[in-house]
Amino acid sequence: MIKNTCPQCESELSWKDQGYFCEYCQQKVTKTAFCPDCSEQLEKLQACGSASYFCNYCNELKSKSRVKIVFNKAED
Ligand SMILES: [Zn+2]
Ligand SMILES: [Zn+2]
């Protein structure tokens, strides 16, 4: 299980307006997935209620448990 934590204060993020939000910083946070094999940014695919990740560089689906998840402050 991947923990969703704020990149700034490391407190747990909540879900708000279709995105992650840190209550403590009052800051939107974006979640980006990177390929565990080539480090390219992955495309998130929504299929049958569960999300999966596709790497355009490797041209294959990546297991959710293996992808590298990075949280960043959202730019307004
Ligand atoms: Zn925070
Ligand atoms: Zn890849």
Compute, in angstroms, the gap from residue 26 CA to the centroid of ligand 2: 33
> 51-73, pLDDT tens digit by residue?
889 999 999 999 989 999 999 99
Considering every ligand atom shown, identify the ligand nearest to the alpha carbon of residue 14 and give its number. 1
Cα distance between residue 73 and residue 55, in whole Å: 23
Compute, in angstroms, the gap from residue 31 CA to the centroid of ligand 2: 17
14-73 belongs to CATH 2.10.290.10: yes
Phi, psi angle pair for 51, to nearest 5°: -85, 145
Compute, in angstroms, the gap from residue 24 CA to the centroid of ligand 1: 5
Query: By CB neighbour count within 10 A (0-12 exposed, 13-18 middle, 19+ buried), where does 41 fall?
Result: middle
Compute, in angstroms, the gap from residue 69 CA to the centroid of ligand 1: 17
> 4-62, pLDDT tens digit by residue?
999 999 999 999 988 999 999 999 999 999 999 999 999 998 877 778 899 999 999 99
Residue type for 73, please? K
